[in-house]
Amino acid sequence: MSLIHLENIEKTYHAGAPLHVLKGISLDIERGEFVAIMGASGSGKSTLLNILGILDTYDSGEYWLNGTLIKHLSENRAADYRNRMIGFIFQSFNLIPFKNALENVALPLFYQGVGRRRRNALAMEYLERLGLKEWAHHLPSELSGGQKQRVAIARAIITQPQIILADEPTGALDSQTSAEVMDLLRQLNDAGMTVVVVTHESGVAYRTHKIVHISDGVIGRIETNLDPAATPFGEGGLMK
């Protein structure tokens, strides 16, 4: 079975007038894939990612993650899945503002019950790997956008999750740092992690290996893009 298996996922929001966001999504993502979910705003792509990350629930259909049906999970089990299986990268970074870079990176390990000394050492190791060793004791407000996103990436991967879910990871960054971030994600994919990126930017989507076009709550075309360097938007090409 695939790492992620979606079958006829439907989701309706009931805020005022009911809004049918996902109208039957079926999708398989294999272990080790580098996938982009692309669509205009309002197409339902973020909702889909939130469901994949167990941050949101769905109304009908089935979502199998690593062979487990993700439905009606207890809060505790959902928390544990998010903690051990999934790493999140957000457009707005979502770093905790009153914690320094090191503490932010170490936080997922805190929820695994790892001791302070060990988790700080690990966090420092990951920050160093991302070239942020000197910034470890700075607050997020003292970091640039690119640095913040790298801190967020370090935080996402410190638990060595199987899946990285990135929601518009370059949305708040300029084109050069965007390229750096996408490069980092590719490196993670090369190291064996499954990476799913949600974006509306072609320059981001075409740096992945598989592009799932979604519009108006349904999946349109699925493109394979095995050689990102060859496309005009791919690596080395236009970013934004």
Partner 1 sequence: MWDSMQEIFANLRRNKLRTALTGLSVSVGIFLLIVLLGAGNGLIHAFEHNAGNMALDVVRLWPGFMSKPYDGLGQGHTVRFDNRDLRLTSAGFPGRVLRSTGELSQSSVRVTAGSENATGELRGVFADYADMNKVVVTDGRFVSPLDLSERRKVMVVGRKTAADLFGDARRAVGRLVVADSTVFRIVGVYADRGQMGSMTAYVPFTTLQLIYNKGVNVESILMRTRGVDTEEADETFRADLRRSMGALHRFAPDDESAIWIYNSTTGAKESAKAMGVLRTALWLVGLLTLLSGVVGISNIMLITVKERTHEFGIRKALGARPWSILRSVLLESVIITALFGYVGLVLGVVATEYMNVVAGQQTVTVADLEMPVFLDPTVDLGVALRALAVLIVAGLLAGFVPARKAVRVKPIEALRAS
- Contacts with partner 1 by CB under 8 A lie at 50, 53, 55-57, 75-76, 79-80, 82-84, 88, 90, 94-96, 98, 107-108, 110-112, 116, 155, 159
Which of 86, 211 has the CB closer to partner 1?
86
Which of 196, 239 has the CB closer to partner 1?
196
Which of 79, 238 has the CB closer to partner 1?
79
CB of 206 to partner 1, least distance (A): 28
Cα(141)–Cα(99) distance, integer angstroms: 10
Which of 93, 206 has the CB closer to partner 1?
93
CB of 150 to partner 1, least distance (A): 17
Cα(63)–Cα(31) distance, integer angstroms: 15
- Provide the residue type at 193 as one letter: M
Q: Is 189 helix (H, G, I), strand (E, B) or coil?
A: helix
CB of 6 to partner 1, least distance (A): 17
φ/ψ region of 31 (left if φ > 0, alpha if ψ in -120 to 50, else beta) reads: beta
Q: What is the largest CA-CA distance in the chain?
A: 51
Six-digit token pair at 32?
A: 């080790």
Cα(146)–Cα(138) distance, integer angstroms: 14
Which of 69, 96 has the CB closer to partner 1?
96
Contact between residue 161 and residue 84 where contact means Cβ atoms under 8 Å apart: yes
Cα(123)–Cα(128) distance, integer angstroms: 9
CB of 53 to partner 1, least distance (A): 7
CB of 187 to partner 1, least distance (A): 22
